[in-house]
Amino acid sequence: MPANLPPQYFEAEKNFRTAKSPTEKIVAIEEMLAIMPKHKGTDHLRAELRSRIAKLSQQATKKTGAQRTSMVIEREGAAQMAVIGLPNTGKSQLIASITNASPAVADYPFTTYTASPGMMAFENIQIQLVDTPSLMPQSIEWWLPPMLRRADALLVMVDLLDEPVLQLAEVIGQLAKMRIDIGVGQVEAEVVLIRQKTLIIGNKLNQAGAGESYAVLKNEYGRQLPMMAVSAREGTNLEELRRKVFQVLDIIRVYTKAPGQKPDHGDPIILTQGSTLADAAEAVHKDFRARLKYARVWGSGKHDGIMIKRDHVLQDGDVIELHM
């Protein structure tokens, strides 16, 4: 399958060739990865570029003394969501409240200096949330923009007690400078590297006046972006937040079973919404897509166990029985 790389990819490749330092080269490669279409024809190239990033990151670490984990956070679990926001919005408190991570939490800004991952449980899967340094123009690390572009989605925290509409506008402006569009028309189409799925979280809901501020925020951006209000410290709406994260990621869980046996509901295949039986077969094993003869489905079929074709669109919770 041909790679079919767009013109913007070759522009980023040119930037890589002219880059002088390891960090500049990594940024260029991250842009190449963000632009590159995701299909079977680009799998080898994608793996090669990620290998280059690993080697360049080691070089950059030796020269700068920076921790390797602050540059590239490898995706774990069903998906990766980067948590971003201005100083003192409660990002680290949220991560500490709903994941297994223990980030530094304090009532003063700039507590987080590096990227710190944690795993959030949602029903039978784990979703990786990455705490990041505050989005301030004078302190954005070189590795943060490519990290945000590589994530599966963004979670933007705003403080409901401190002019949340202005906060969100500032975050949108910072993302636009990184050539990231979240669906509010702030980035010109010709310079967009990636359009990211985004969830807006208004924090400190339990404080006086927060509900009114959230209503203003929702009136301004609610038609364009999914959002909800929580209290990271008090735990308000955090269970609902888990489901909202899953919904924004736009993924489904599909289970496999052998003939005559029960499915293993503890180890689902993770696919994007709109994926077909053929996509699921390939996810089980790279050769299964070509070898697949037919399958049966329980869940989204008209009848349980009905035979389905390769182009059958799967739904969250489907069980499939593959026949080679």
> Is residue 230 pLDDT above 90, yes or no?
yes
What single DSSP character describes residue 312?
A: P
* 19-65 tens-digit pLDDT: 888 878 887 887 788 778 777 778 888 888 888 887 887 776 565 55
Average pLDDT across the chain, whole number? 86
Dmax over CA atoms of the chain, in Å, equals: 61
Q: Which of 28-37, 69-78, 192-201 has the lowest mean pLDDT?
A: 69-78
DSSP 102-117: -----SSS----S-EE
Share of the chain above pLDDT 70, in %: 88
- The confidence score (pLDDT) of residue 120 equals 96
Domains held by the chain: number: 3
What pTM, to 2 d.p., does this model score? 0.80
Residues ≥6 apart with Cβ < 8 Å to 256: 263, 264, 269, 280, 284, 319, 320, 321, 322
CATH code assigned at 303: 3.10.20.30
- The confidence score (pLDDT) of residue 66 equals 46
- Residue 188 main-chain phi, psi, to 5 deg: -65, 140
305 and 276 in a common domain: yes
198's enclosing H/E stretch is: strand 198-203
256 and 241 in a common domain: no
- The confidence score (pLDDT) of residue 202 equals 97
End-of-domain residue from the set 194, 219, 249:
249
292 and 144 in a common domain: no
258 and 205 in a common domain: no
- The confidence score (pLDDT) of residue 29 equals 84
End-of-domain residue from the set 226, 249, 272:
249
Provide the domain limits for residue 191.
73-249
pLDDT band at 68 (very low <50, low <70, confident <90, very high): very low
> Is residue 10 pLDDT above 60, yes or no?
yes
* 134-188 tens-digit pLDDT: 888 666 777 788 889 889 999 999 999 999 999 999 999 999 888 899 988 766 6
> Are residues 135 and 174 in contact, defined by beta-carbon separation less than 8 angstroms?
yes
